[in-house]
Amino acid sequence: MFANKKIVLGISGGIAAYKAADIASWLTKNGASVHCMMTPNAAGFIAPQVLQALTHHPVVVDEFMSGPGWGIVHIDTVQNADLFAVIPATANTIAKIAAGIADNALTSAVLAANCPLFIAPAMNTHMYQNPATQQNIQTLKNRGWHIMLPASGHLACGAVGEGKLPEVAAIEAELQRLLLPSQDLAGLKFLVTAGPTIEPIDPVRYITNKSSGKMGYAIAEAARDRGAQVLLVSGHTNLIPPAGVEYLAVDSAASMLTACLDAYDGCDVVVKAAAVADYRVAEPAAQKLKKADGIDEMVLRLVKNPDILAELGRRKTHQLLIGFAAETNNVEEYARQKLVKKHADMLVANDVSRADAGFDVDTNQVTIFTAAGDKLISPLASKRQTADFILDAVRARLDKQ
Ligand code: CTP
């Protein structure tokens, strides 16, 4: 399966380090050339000789290792690699990578790597949830790293919670997806909308919502990886547009509508993940509004925005139209109503009252309602995995046409 694939497996010093042996063995048995690099602490949890015996390659722990044919280890090891996977990635190693610190062979090699990068964080729950760790993981994500979220369960420290290395089989499935990406959406043009719209009140103030854009960006990225040509039309977010995706920044609902209509005829699939403002200020002020002494109230008159999804539904010819429904209650009822009312082919419903599936979190759990009457429930997973779940449903629907 992985013939001609060179994989650098970085192992940092957590108790889950022993699981890296299974992964190294599986990759090797499937034809990959696996080169392990361990932090000195990792070598305290699992002997380098175990990994060497399983992969048939010397294991790098010390930057100054030498032997016949050895050059500069942190440069040579990553040369022509197809993937650099750090499993498990401890809080310390993640922090060093985020900061660009190169104080051991593994972290030096990460800096020298010019290939897709993957980490599977594993650590104590409090360490994982610490804002420093979360920020570091976000930094890596913004740089294009593939992150596999940890699982919840009994941890080696005795605590129960987030931070566990996911099941080895789940990591293997993720590595397979990265090494052999399916091209099942090749030849299709996707229009994906993401993020919030903003509706001006005056030149310095506006009305917006809590959408982070993460779900839409994950869908754009996943569709790209599966071979689609993608146009991402996005409101203001803090996210970096995915490489290889055509990107159009918009602000108001009106500008998002124009961008969508311009692209619509040439699209095969439209995914409307954006959180569009339903109303805009009727008459935004041309100059900054000033407080007036003695007037304690201010009334803004709002008028309805165009419903972009409904408009695309009306104009639909050959396109497959996927809408979203962000709800806090009666999720199924409202989602089904929107599916019909907006002439969508699928409606992805999101319960945004949940802490693990709402705005600005990295996980999601959705239910897809299709015009054909199907109801598909995704597991709680990263937004990237949820994106693939949605795209699997799109692929299945296209196959039925
Ligand atoms: N949508 C849109 N244009 C709007 C409002 C919503 O294109 N003016 C799209 C969203 O992108 C999403 C779907 O319609 O795909 C549902 O959006 P949502 O905000 O959940 O519902 P609304 O239609 O706005 O209804 P309500 O606010 O009453 O829930």
Domain layout of the chain by residue ranges: 6-179, 189-286+295-400
Rounded average pLDDT over 112-119: 95
**Domains 6-179 and 189-286+295-400 are alike in CATH topology:** yes
Tell me, what's the pLDDT at 379? 86
| Angle, helices 91-99/131-142, rounded to nearest 10 degrees | 50
**pLDDT grade for 160, boundaries at 50, 70 and 90:** confident
Annotated binding residue 141: no
CATH level 3 topology of 189-286+295-400: Rossmann fold (3.40.50)
Which distant-in-sequence residues (6+ apart) come within 8 Å of 173 by Cβ? none
Q: Which residues contact 154 (CB under 8 A, 6 or more apart)?
A: 160, 164
Q: Determine whether the annotation assigns residue 288 to a binding site.
A: yes
Q: Answer whether 0.85 is exceeded by the pTM.
A: no
Q: Give yes or no for a contact between 234 and 216, defined as CB atoms under 8 angstroms apart.
A: yes
Task: Please tell me whether 383 is known to bind a ligand.
Answer: no
Establish whether residue 309 lines the binding site of ligand 1, counting it when its CB lies within 6 angstroms of any ligand atom: yes
CA separation, residue 225 to residues 4, 58, 102, 230, 394 (Å): 20, 32, 30, 10, 15
Average pLDDT over residues 126-139: 96
Please say if the pLDDT value at position 85 is more than 90.
yes
Query: Which pLDDT belongs to residue 362?
Result: 81
Instruction: For residue 15, report the distance from its CA to the centre of ligand 1, in Å.
Output: 46
185 lines ligand 1 (CB under 6 A): no
Task: Determine the residue type at 296.
Answer: D
| Residue 243 CA, ligand 1 centroid: distance in Å | 28
pLDDT of 263-277, one tens digit each?
999 999 999 999 999
Distance, CA of 185 to CA of 187 (rounded, Å): 6
325 lines ligand 1 (CB under 6 A): yes
**pLDDT confidence of 292, banded at 50, 70, 90?**
confident
Give the pLDDT of residue 355: 82
CB 215 within 8 A of CB 386: yes
- Average pLDDT on 154-183 reads 91
Catalytic residue among 36, 115, 157, 260: 157
For the residues of 57-107, what is the DSSP string, one character each?
SPPB-STT---TT---HHHHTTTT-SEEEEEEE-HHHHHHHHHT---SHHH
In 165-309, which ranges are E strands? 189-194, 199-202, 205-207, 229-234, 246-249, 269-272, 279-281, 302-304
Q: Is the CB of 324 under 6 A from ligand 1?
A: yes
Instruction: Report whether 217 contacts 231 (CB < 8 A).
Output: no
Strands 199-202 and 117-121: unpaired
- pLDDT beyond 80 at 126: yes
For the domain made up of 6-179, give the CATH fold.
Rossmann fold (3.40.50)
Q: State which of 191, 193, 307, 319 you would mutate to test the pocket of ligand 1, scoring each by most atoms of that ligand within 8 A of its C-beta.
A: 307
Could you tell me how many helices (H) and strands (E) the chain has, helices first? 14, 21
Name the band, by pLDDT with cuts 50, 70 and 90, for residue 158: confident
Residues 175-200 have a mean pLDDT of 95
308 is in an annotated binding site: yes
For ligand 1, whether the C-beta of 196 sits within 6 Å is no
115 is catalytic: no
Q: Radius of gyration over alpha carbons of the chain, in Å?
A: 24
Ligand 1 centre from 326 Cα, in Å?
8
pLDDT tens by residue, 18-70: 999 999 999 999 999 999 999 999 999 999 999 999 999 999 998 887 777 77
Tell whether residue 5 is among the known ligand binding residues: no
The rounded Å distance from CA 10 to ligand 1 centre is 44
Residues 353-379, mean pLDDT to the nearest whole number? 88
Alpha carbon of 343 to ligand 1 centroid (Å): 13
Beta-sheet pairing, 375-377 with 151-154: unpaired
Q: Which residue is closest in CA terms to ligand 1's atom 18?
A: 325
- What tens digit of pLDDT does each residue of 3-31 get? 999 999 999 999 999 999 999 999 999 99
> Cα(328)–Cα(353) distance, rounded to whole angstroms?
5
